[in-house]
Amino acid sequence: MQSVKALGNRSRTHAPAFLFALLDACSILAGAALAYVFRFGDSSALSQPTLFIVAFNTAMTVLLFSTLGIYQSWRGRNALEMVTLVTIGWGAVFVLGLALVFTTNQTHALSRLWSGSWFVASLCLLVISRITGYQLSKQLWRHGIDVQPVAIVGANPHSHNLIERLRKNAQSGFYPECVFDEDPVASTYAGGLPVHASLESLADAVRTRGIKEIWLVLPLREEARVHTVLNAFRHDFVNVRFIPNVRDIALFNHSVSEIAGLSSINLLASPPADPRFLAKQIFDRSFAALALLGVSPLMLVIALLVKLSSPGPVFFRQWRKGANGTEFQIYKFRTMVVHAEHAGQLTQAKRRDPRVTPIGALLRKTSLDELPQFINVLRGEMSVVGPRPHALQHDELYKDLVHGYMFRYRIKPGITGWAQINGYRGETDKIEKMQGRIAFDLYYIENWTFGLDLKIVLKTFVHGFGGAHAY
């Protein structure tokens, strides 16, 4: 059965590319016709310059799309990337076509309204056809049609997780076929797949079953093993992909950047400028401005109560680390009586702490003491959602005790976060509490989406800002 699937893969290798190219050409021609009817309202014949630019753009689109890799397999790739490439490609061809019209002095023969309508109509048809084809492919893959078998090199917890992920996400278009590892206990992490204990056995399976994907799921230190596999399949037309286990040390989806003309995997690097983070930045500033405007009367009342509760300033300011370790002063309403700490020491608030004022206890219980931090968000020092910043003294204490502790400062800290809505807030009197908090923070960083931010904000409002550990 698996061999039949593989044969099917070979026989259909070039069919989707040809069909998509034909569909793209039809989309551009249909867009031109729709725009012509919209502009002129009749079926009169197109002028010669109009026919020329339509034919030119149609041919150039197919050629450019092929160059951009749009007709390559989108198995396992992102739909947004596909739509972006299609938009850029069609836009570039359209500009090129207009430039050709200008150089041939044919601008008088073209309607600007028709040209603009044609661009929009054809773009919509190109995107719709691409998304429809992509969704149809995912449905076929989900039902086991035209899926690609994968041979996995390396039996370890990371490869076991990968196998389970492929099984649960059939729409990716890949399914695990077998595992190669010379370790006698390899079957422990093989997830029930056949295990090949020798490279010769793996090569035989790859060639007889038509496997086109070999994924090396190995630690970074296994360089010699990687070269051995590459050498064994240097004459085979297979895709060999290296999927190292970098989750324990790399953040933000292990982004790849180019440095001095060389590709590099960012293992310990702050997130690059990414359009996805633009929505987060806009949301932060907008939300902070609206929040400060909306709660300003409440903040004035709280400020007055704090001032009357005990001698001292209204605001408590303390140095914290922000993105990339940049230090800033965080703002809170003062909840304790003014007191002095020994140099380098910071005592966390405990339950029924005598230093906490009566109004301070209420503010801490409801987290209203955190409201001034929207000022930090408005200034760009914090985000609405992110890992909570700790005092500098605590950073020094925990950075060597908790694995991954300092990774959380690769992004802006937040007023609320994934750890907080999962019960990790307040005093961290035990190392296990801090470890739990950091685990949630790293999960958030690794799996960040703007949707996750909105979910955290919503849960914060639904479940309230307080909690059993708020004191």
Structure confidence by residue, pLDDT tens digits, 421-437: 888 876 666 888 888 89
Q: Nearest to residue 113, comparing CAs of 168, 192, 166, 50? A: 50
Q: Are 146 and 9 in contact (CB under 8 A)?
A: yes
- Token pair in block for residue 455: 């979910």
Longest dimension (CA), the chain: 89
- Token pair in block for residue 364: 């801490």
Task: Annotate 1-37 with b (16+ C-beta within 10 A) or e (fewer).
Answer: eeeebbeebeeeeeebeeebbebbeebbbebbebbbe
- Say what the pLDDT of residue 331 is: 95
- Token pair in block for residue 335: 């909840």
Share of the chain above pLDDT 70, in %: 82
Task: Give the angle subtended at the CA of 250 by the CAs of 244 and 254, to the nearest 5°.
Answer: 70
Whether residue 10 has pLDDT greater than 50: no
What's the burial of 155, exposed, middle or buried (CB within 10 Å: 0-12/13-18/19+)? buried
- Which residue, chain included where needed, has tokens 């922000």? 322
| CA separation for the pair 36, 55 (Å, rounded) | 15
- Say what the pLDDT of residue 248 is: 54
Q: Are 312 and 287 in contact (CB under 8 A)?
A: no
Mean pLDDT across the chain, nearest whole number?
Answer: 81
292 vs 75, more confident:
292
Instruction: Delineate the domains of the chain, giving CATH numbers in brackets.
Output: 2-142 (no CATH), 148-245 (3.40.50.720), 275-463 (no CATH)
**How confident is the model over 133-154, as a mean pLDDT?**
82
Length of the chain: 471
214 vs 244, more confident:
214
- Which residue, chain included where needed, has tokens 């609206």? 290
User: Backbone dihedral region of 348: left (phi > 0), alpha (psi from -120 to 50 degrees) or beta?
Assistant: beta
Band the pLDDT of 463: cuts 50, 70, 90. Answer: confident
Q: Are 124 and 175 in contact (CB under 8 A)?
A: no
- Say what the pLDDT of residue 148 is: 85
- Say what the pLDDT of residue 282 is: 85
Q: Nearest to residue 384, comparing CAs of 416, 419, 347? A: 416
277 vs 63, more confident:
63
- Say what the pLDDT of residue 170 is: 73
Whether residue 375 has pLDDT greater than 90: yes
| CA separation for the pair 97, 101 (Å, rounded) | 6
- Say what the pLDDT of residue 272 is: 52
- Token pair in block for residue 329: 């002063």
**Range picked from 8-17, 88-97, 104-113 for highest mean pLDDT:** 88-97
- Say what the pLDDT of residue 355 is: 87
| CA separation for the pair 24, 36 (Å, rounded) | 18
- Say what the pLDDT of residue 1 is: 36
| CA separation for the pair 247, 407 (Å, rounded) | 12
Q: What is the 3-state secondary structure (H, E, C) of the chain?
A: CHHHHHHHHHHCCCHHHHHHHHHHHHHHHHHHHHHHHHHHCCCCCCCHHHHHHHHHHHHHHHHHHHHCCCCCCCCCCCHHHHHHHHHHHHHHHHHHHHHHHHHCCCHHHCCHHHHHHHHHHHHHHHHHHHHHHHHHHHHHHHCCCCCEEEEEECCCHHHHHHHHHHHHCHHHCEEEEEEECCCCCHHHHCCCCCEECCHHHHHHHHHHCCCCEEEECCCCCCHHHHHHHHHHCCCCCCEEEECCCCCCCCCHHHCEEEECCEEEECCCCCCCCCHHHHHHHHHHHHHHHHHHHHHHHHHHHHHHHHHHHCCCCCEEEEEEECHHHCEEEEEEECCECCCCCCCCCCCCCCCCCCCECHHHHHHHHHCHHHCCHHHHHHCCCCEEECCCCCEHHHHHHHCCCCCCHHHHHHCCCEEECHHHHCCCCCCCCCHHHHHHHHHHHHHHHHCCCHHHHHHHHHHHHHHCCCCCCCC
| pLDDT tens profile 27-71 | 999 998 888 888 777 655 567 778 888 998 999 988 888 877 788
**How confident is the model over 288-293, as a mean pLDDT?**
91
Whether residue 258 has pLDDT greater than 60: no
- Say what the pLDDT of residue 339 is: 74
